[in-house]
Structure 1
Amino acid sequence: MRRRLRTAVVTLALGLALAGCGRQQAGSDGLATGAGPTAPTTASTGTDGSTESPMNAMDMQGAAERADSMLDLTLKAIEPSVQWAHGPTTTGSCDVTRRRTVMTVVAPERRQEFLDRVAEFWRDSDYRIKAVNKDEEFPAVYAQAEGFGISVSVRGGGQVFFEADSPCVRASKVADSASKPNGPSYEGVYPLPRPDVKSPYWSTGAS
């Protein structure tokens, strides 16, 4: 009888030990390290074998080019088209802002429609609309995509401005924009003049 009891105890202990081997063990971060699905990662492998996130892989020049692309596509989507010129580019320690200034007169009666069309294009492009200011005189729309902020706003003299702000990326030099304005470039002129280009549509009702 005692021999049977000892055999049963040994068998039970062995079974528990084997069961413990099949359990997932928690690592130092508290996550399971045993078998199971592995969480996907967005990090990419650099040329030196290290891993880096998409934002870390981009430098300020690349961010400026991406901001230019966002602004180019937005302005091309506006119908009827408007004339624009480059505003100043500003840089921080790890970020860059590109600006565009609309030189076409947008009448007060058309301002909200203008911004609504821009916001519609951004939504269709999967941008996230973060805020909308429907002030009658100085309306604005603020959106975000891929960590970049982009905005359109009406300011003094009814002039429309676009801005695209990058997230923090690797520091680098930033060249002037390669995008060509569809009107006078006003190179070396700052601040730019008030809008003076008349549009049969957008300027309707303007003095």
Structure 2
Amino acid sequence: MNMQQAADRADEILDDVLGAIQPPVEWTHRPTMAGNCSTDRSRTVMTIISEQRRGAFLGLVDRHWKSKGFTFRATSKDKQAAYYVSPDGFQASVLIGWKGQAHFEVTTPCVEKSDVKPPTSPPHGRDYYNEPPTAPNVTSDFWSATTPAGN
């Protein structure tokens, strides 16, 4: 496997988890970070995830990745980030940042060096790929609600 093929696999992981989030959120690609033998692909969610809904959001991601055979590795002290490894050795993470903005990242294993092209899947919402990062700016009746999920 070369770096482009690994980046494509990372995109599959990201497409899959973002497709599992219901109701859907708006997200955009972030620039690819290619190293000597690995690649990072990342996506930023532009939908505001309220403090009251963050646990539900992270729980959904946790259940989805575990259902795909991912191994849970760690969580941050504040419980706003979680780290996993896929069965084929890709490191995946989700974190909730400033103003309830979710970020996903997948780092590939070390593979044969090659050029890496930008992702080809269209973002869900506005494309911020070549723009500076911005705070989340999309409101969701579900994910941005200020009541706990299930109420």
Which runs of 5 or more structure 1 residues have no equivalent in the other structure?
1-57
- Paired residue type of 2:34: T
Partner of 2:31: 88
Greater fraction of residues in strand: 2
Shift of 1:174: 0.2
CA contact (8 A) 2:31 2:130 kept: no
Which of 93, 100, 107 is the aligned partner of 1:158?
A: 100
Partner of 2:3: 60
Determine which structure has greater relative contact order: mean sequence separation of CA pairs < 8 Å that are 6+ residues apart, divided by chain length.
2
Q: CA RMSD in A?
A: 1.3
Partner of 1:78: 21
Percent of pairs with identical residues: 41
Q: In the aligned structure 2, how far is the partner of 1:127 from the partner of 1:186?
A: 29
CA contact (8 A) 1:97 1:165 kept: yes
2:114 is aligned with 1:167: no
Shift of 1:205: 1.6
Q: In the aligned structure 2, how far is the partner of 1:143 from the partner of 1:188?
A: 28
Greater fraction of residues in helix: 1
Partner of 1:202: 143
- Paired residue type of 2:103: F
2:27 is aligned with 1:121: no
2:133 is aligned with 1:181: no
- Paired residue type of 1:159: Q
CA contact (8 A) 1:112 1:134 kept: no
Q: After the TM superposition, list the runs of 4 or more consecutive aligned residues in structure 1 that deviate by more than 6 angstroms.
A: none
Q: Secondary structure at the match of 1:87?
A: strand
Q: TM-score, normalised by structure 2?
A: 0.93
Shift of 1:157: 2.3
Q: In the aligned structure 2, how far is the partner of 1:60 from the partner of 1:172?
A: 5
Partner of 2:85: 144
- Paired residue type of 2:72: I
Shift of 1:109: 0.5
Q: In the aligned structure 2, how far is the partner of 1:163 from the partner of 1:126?
A: 17
- Paired residue type of 1:81: P
Q: TM-score, normalised by structure 1?
A: 0.68
Residues 143, 187 of structure 1: CA spacing in aligned structure 2 closer, same or farther, 3 A cutoff? closer
CA contact (8 A) 1:107 1:203 kept: yes
Q: In the aligned structure 1, how far is the partner of 2:27 from the partner of 2:104?
A: 10
Which runs of 5 or more structure 2 residues have no equivalent in the other structure?
none
Q: In the aligned structure 2, how far is the partner of 1:134 from the partner of 1:120?
A: 20
Q: Which has the greater radius of gyration?
A: 1
Shift of 1:169: 0.2
